[in-house]
Amino acid sequence: MGRRNQKPLYHVVKKSPYRLDMSQTSEKEAKKWLFLKCLGIYGPFTVRDVAHWVGWNITETEKILKTLLAEKKAVNVIVKDDKDAHFVCREDLSALDLLKNMLPENSFVRILFNDDALLLGYYRKLKDYFGYQ
């Protein structure tokens, strides 16, 4: 992995840690997989967020998103107090809805990015609260 002329460089391996057979995967499919992996780990994310973390330009990121929306693998969600469009994996909606449906009245769910200051401050206490790190 590296960069040349503002474009990311990739090295193909036979198998990624996620058991994706790279020798049988097209560049387009790999980009869709990477976009969905980014949403699954960090979402809800904006197009700019994905472009920043993955290393693509906005045009390329929007093109991949358009394909994923057409295939119904990604969906647009509303993030309160944010005017930008946010997206998540469609398969994650049920888990988010389950959280929403289990909440007491007048409460909310806050999804924290893994570098969020609040989350970083509680990393050592997560095992005590949730039983895992």
Q: Are 62 and 47 in contact (CB under 8 A)?
A: yes
What percent of the chain stands above pLDDT 90? 24
Task: Judge whether residue 68 has pLDDT over 70.
Answer: yes
Question: How high is the pLDDT of residue 9?
Answer: 60
Domain tally for the chain? 1
Asked if residue 18 belongs to a domain, the reply is: no
Asked if residue 15 belongs to a domain, the reply is: no
- Give the closest residue to 31 by CA, choosing from 66, 6, 2: 66
Asked if residue 98 belongs to a domain, the reply is: yes
Task: Identify the CATH number of the domain in which residue 107 sits.
Answer: 1.10.10.10
Task: Give residue 94's domain range.
Answer: 26-126
- Give the closest residue to 40 by CA, choosing from 77, 81, 80, 74: 74
Asked if residue 11 belongs to a domain, the reply is: no
Question: How high is the pLDDT of residue 116?
Answer: 65
